[in-house]
A and B are shown apart, each in its own frame.
Chain A
Amino acid sequence: MTTAIEFQHVQKDFNGQTVIPDLNLTIDQGELFVLVGTSGSGKTTSLKMINCLEPLTAGKILVNGTDTTTIPVRSLRWQMGYVLQQIALFPTMTVAQNIAVIPEMKGTAKKEINQTIDELLAEVGLDPKEYRDRMPSELSGGEQQRIGILRAIAAQPDIVLMDEPFSALDPISRQQLQDLVLRLHARYHNTIVFVTHDMNEALKLGDRIGVMQHGQLIQVDTPAALAQHPVNDFVRNFFGASRAKNVYDVYVGRVGLIQGYLTEKPSVASGRIQSLDVQATLRTAFTALTDHDYVAVTEENRVVGYLDSQRIVAYLSQHEEVS
């Protein structure tokens, strides 16, 4: 696998104070990499150094093998999409004009841009006829951020940077947009660097997750590895802090992730197995297990694995304080 982005001994000072002492990280091409951490951990700063919104104090960042400081900053940015927490659509431009911002600068033909806009709008479930000429102020927050994402990917960049893009949205929009990111990623195979402070979001989205604290990368691992083998208490607690307030609201996917799934299909009549989505809660699972023996956990209608009541109880006893 080739490397998309590489941090080499990156240091960042603000007003003489070192906030990131020595950051080393390699992100592969086509990877959806999530940087997670509390506020002030340096995750957003790390992200902004990739497209030179923040200059480096020392070290270097390679994008597709080239030192970013040797590339003209505008052409560097043209190959990177960027999605902001504040969404920041240009308020005087229509939806279509917002999406067309980067392709227009790159000199793409108008006809081609218009076609792309229609395709993209349809892709995210917004009727092009109805939405093309709307102004951002006429859209809901969730709709706005969909356009924000489309604006970032309209020129088909290799790399998309997302800075806590969903933290200002309501829970339902957030989930829909998380699903959208996964779908777009599966379709375009671009490299996504996604910053969040929400461990649940990180677990759901990340191929790999980097946990940051005080400007340092504490652990970089797959969600399962991170869940099962946290390197220290900070990671374990951070992970724990992401649990639901109420035990019954824990996702079945989380139990599978931490406790491990039965990978083999249990040899019982299929009537004894209840299918549940990864985001179904334990409440649903308990109801299902009253008249079924197993739960088949599915994601996008594909079975991820199987859980039985023992595994769920084991998870509860080990990881959750039942109050």
Chain B
Amino acid sequence: MQTLIQTFIDRRGDLLTALWQHLGISLASLVIAMVIAIPLAIWVVRRPRWAEGLLQLTSVLQTIPSLALLGLLIPLVGIGTVPAVIALVIYALLPIFQNTYLGISEIDASIEEAADAFGMSRMRKLFKVELPIALPQIIAGIRTALVLIIGTATLAALIGAGGLGTFIMLGIDRNDTSLLLIGAISSALLAILLSALVRWFQTAKPRHALIVFVGILALLGGGGAYSVYANRVETITIAGKLGSEPEILINMYKQLIEAEDEHVHVTLKPNFGKTTFLFSALKNNQVDIYPEFTGSVLETLGKGNNPAGQTANQTYQLAKQRLAKQEQMTYLKPMQYNNTYALAVTKKFQQEHHLKTISDLTQVESILKPGMTLEFIDRNDGLEGIKKTYGLDVTAKSMEPALRYEAISKGKINLVDAYATDSELRQYHLALLKDNKHFFPTYQGAPLMKTSFANKHPKVVKALNKLAGKISETDMQEMNYEVNVKKQSASTVAHRYLVKHGLLKEGR
């Protein structure tokens, strides 16, 4: 409880931003869904065949898992707010459409007849008779949609739209229950509060309702206008993958760039998702720069065969060439540390079974209980390759990155995949097993951007090149530890490193 309150106080600024984004995405989706579903429902009331079809269509749309829907939208509209809003609108259609349709079509036939017999026009009948009668049901549909939207909007963080989901994702990733709870509770409270507000709209005097509604619109519109205003100076957007390490790196980028060029403002989008999300964001100009690993470029992004047993420099050169040729992208020089994949066991387990290398694992194959990330299990340069290269026969359980450390420290599993710089290696007293057959490729981090961007921003390139060959594995482990466990902000940690190594002057 104490930590929860402390985290809340530390993070209240971020929380406010996230709440605001969440509210914006949710209300925008709700309004769009209403604008589509209500007129459509009114239109089909007298066309039963259409109504049947549309009801089924909206039901089918709702059964698509939200993650899958977001994934489907990425190639079409990229990432960020737009696909999130589209997905949420799709989910909100059914309850609003269905309730409006049923609300109107279930009105007593005699009341319809009376309205006709008194010579009401179509529109007058709709606004004076049908909508008022159906209103409670329509409002109920809107409330259902709203609660659904606010819950689902937490997934928007996955594709870089921000919102309260950022807290939840971070909480899971950093194994920080407080963050997770703050995200989840805020989202639940927001749903309850807005649902009550919608109910109030139903009973409120029309004038009051209108004032409040316009007020909310003005507030959100004002926020949007402000952000446009604030962005009018040259803004560079730098994103990073989920986790503390990319966040520290992009904070370094920001500080170096802004120190180099005062007319540039850098916006950071930390915890932006996984490799392919970020890569397509870069392609679609939603992001200008992000740090990428040399190994990931070869494995996931570029096309071509990957010769085994490459040195770090060979790997970088190959990645650089491919990106330049295939994607017209510029890949700056990498930092020193190699954040490659590794296999880890607890120190206790290591001593008990005298394990030093991955090869040693074959002797204890029968008692191995591996828990690994889905990405690792699925990759050719991950578990599959290990099994072939080392003749190891194991089946791994797939687990979220942060959860597997928790699991190994509790003895539920005894072998995990890890990154060489993970702070948890230190935190949970884990030992890395030596990759004695040099199976894992090199994973050195370096800034990735479009070549057109690099040509236009020589100062940015110059600033980022200062990091080339800097930061050792222990430096990175230490910094990760400071952010993940000691809860220091990524920006402070980044700043301290830059100053200490003379890359930035004190006082900025």
Contact = CB atoms under 8 A, between A and B. Distances in A.
A101 B121 CA distance: 12
A74 B119 contact: yes
Nearest to A101: B118
B133 interface: yes
Interface in B117-131: 117-121, 124, 128-129
B83 to A, nearest CB: 40
B88 to A, nearest CB: 31
Interface in A68-94: 73-78, 80, 82, 84-88, 90-93
A90 B121 contact: no
Contacts of A85: 110
Contacts of A77: 116-119
Given A91-B133, A92-B132, A75 B119 contact: yes
A58 to B, nearest CB: 23
Contacts of B116: 53, 77
A85 B113 CA distance: 11
A102 B113 contact: no
A105 B128 CA distance: 11
Nearest to B136: A92
B117 A105 contact: no
Interface residues of A, number: 24
Given A91-B111, A92-B133, A82 B124 contact: no
Contacts of A91: 111, 133
Contacts of B108: 86, 88
A201 B383 CA distance: 91
A84 B110 contact: yes
Nearest to B121: A74
Contacts of B230: none
Contacts of B129: 90, 92
Contacts of B124: 105
Interface string B424-460: 0000000000000000000000000000000000000
B113 A53 contact: yes
Contacts of B128: 90, 93, 101
A259 interface: no
Interface string A254-271: 000000000000000000
Given A86-B108, A92-B132, A105-B124, A76 B113 contact: no
B119 A84 contact: no
B114 interface: yes
Given A86-B108, A91-B133, A92-B132, A73 B119 contact: yes
Which of A53, A73, A74, A75 gathers most chain B CB within 10 Å?
A74
B68 to A, nearest CB: 42
A190 interface: no
B110 A88 contact: yes
Given A86-B108, A90-B129, A92-B132, A105 B114 contact: no
B52 to A, nearest CB: 23
Given A88-B110, A91-B133, A92-B133, A82 B117 contact: yes
B117 A53 contact: yes
A93 B120 CA distance: 15
Contacts of B120: 74, 101, 105
Contact of A78 (B113, B119, B135): B119
Nearest to A77: B119
Contacts of B117: 51, 53, 77, 80, 82, 84, 161
A80 B128 CA distance: 20
B114 A88 contact: yes
B121 to A, nearest CB: 7
A151 B110 CA distance: 15
Residues of B in contact with A, size category: 10 to 19
Nearest to A76: B119
Contacts of B115: 90
A93 B132 CA distance: 9
A101 B108 CA distance: 18
A91 B128 CA distance: 11
Contacts of A101: 118, 120, 128
A10 B135 CA distance: 41
Contacts of A76: 119
A161 B124 CA distance: 22
B119 A88 contact: no
A190 B119 CA distance: 19
Contact of B118 (A86, A87, A92, A102): A102
Nearest to A85: B110
A311 B133 CA distance: 57
Which of A85, A88, A91, A161 gathers most chain B CB within 10 Å?
A88
A163 B128 CA distance: 24
Contact of B119 (A92, A93, A105, A151): A105
B114 A82 contact: yes
B113 A84 contact: yes
B110 A82 contact: no
A88 B113 contact: yes
Nearest to A148: B114
Contacts of A51: 117
A84 B118 contact: no
B129 to A, nearest CB: 6
Contacts of A102: 118-119
B311 to A, nearest CB: 78
A154 to B, nearest CB: 10
Interface string A91-129: 111000000011001000000000000000000000000
Contacts of A87: 110
B477 to A, nearest CB: 67
B260 to A, nearest CB: 66
B436 to A, nearest CB: 80
Nearest to A86: B110
Contacts of B118: 77-78, 82, 101-102, 105, 151
A153 to B, nearest CB: 12
B409 to A, nearest CB: 62
A188 B335 CA distance: 98
Interface in B83-114: 108, 110-111, 113-114
Given A85-B110, A105-B120, A151-B118, 19 more contacts: A53-B113, A53-B117, A74-B119, A77-B117, A77-B119, A82-B114, A84-B113, A86-B108, A86-B110, A88-B110, A88-B114, A90-B111, A90-B132, A91-B111, A92-B129, A92-B132, A92-B133, A105-B119, A105-B124
Closest 7 CB pairs of A and B: A77-B119, A86-B110, A92-B132, A74-B119, A82-B117, A88-B110, A88-B114
Interface of A: 51, 53, 73-78, 80, 82, 84-88, 90-93, 101-102, 105, 151, 161
15 contacts: A53-B113, A73-B119, A77-B117, A78-B119, A80-B117, A84-B117, A88-B113, A90-B115, A90-B129, A91-B111, A91-B133, A92-B135, A93-B128, A102-B118, A105-B124
